[in-house]
Structure 1
């Protein structure tokens, strides 16, 4: 895996973990009505992680010479909860996280 592929894998994992934290925070706030601390912590963290993931997707698209479909799928995967992690595993199997020769 290339350094850019490792960066993408890291960004996908961070995005997924912060999504999970935000979902748990929303459950504690709205579902169980215990505390809003999880949302106050993971809301901004997930926002930053989401933006970082989008930037890394665009960088990987250019640096790893992804086809357009791969970049679009990667961007769409950030919207539903926890999809970036299996997407990263799929991209790894396809070889999209390795350096491509011109």
Structure 2
């Protein structure tokens, strides 16, 4: 069934993976395969952008539901712009709330 907590965990995982795939595309594919890079950039970037926005919205909704303080919410939001940050949030903040 639909659960805000499970939805956030899924979106956090997908957002973290899409962020790493986007970096991988920029670091490894772009320098060597310029023609493939142009084809991959738009769908990967669009998927990551949508997942990033969903992550932010769901984090704010979950913070209101779980009554997180401002510091916890700020850490969860900042983690979305740091590579591997969403995996850290899942391991530290989401495991102990379940």
TM-score normalised over the length of structure 2: 0.83
> Structure 2 CA distance, aligned partners of 1:92 and 1:59?
14
The equivalent of 1:70 in structure 2 is 72
The number of equivalent residue pairs is 93
| 1:20 and 2:20 correspond | yes
Deviations 1:16-73 (A, max 9, x none): 11112211221212x3244223322210100000000000100001011111111100
Q: For structure 2, which runs of at least 5 residues remain unmatched after alignment?
A: none
Higher helix share: 2
Counterpart CA distance in 2 for 1:23 and 1:38 is 12
Q: Following TM superposition, where does structure 1 have runs of at least 4 consecutive aligned residues deviating by more than 4 angstroms?
A: none
Alpha-carbon shift at residue 9 of structure 1 (Å): 0.9
Deviations 1:55-98 (A, max 9, x none): 010000101111111110000001112210121111134x23x3
Q: Structure 1 length normalisation: TM-score? A: 0.80
- Equivalent in 73, 81, 84 of residue 86 of structure 2: 84
Alpha carbons 1:18, 1:46 under 8 Å: kept? yes
**Over aligned residues, Cα RMSD in angstroms?**
1.5
Partners of 1:68 and 1:18 in 2: how far apart? 27
Preserved contact between residue 16 and residue 85 of structure 1 (Cα < 8 Å): yes
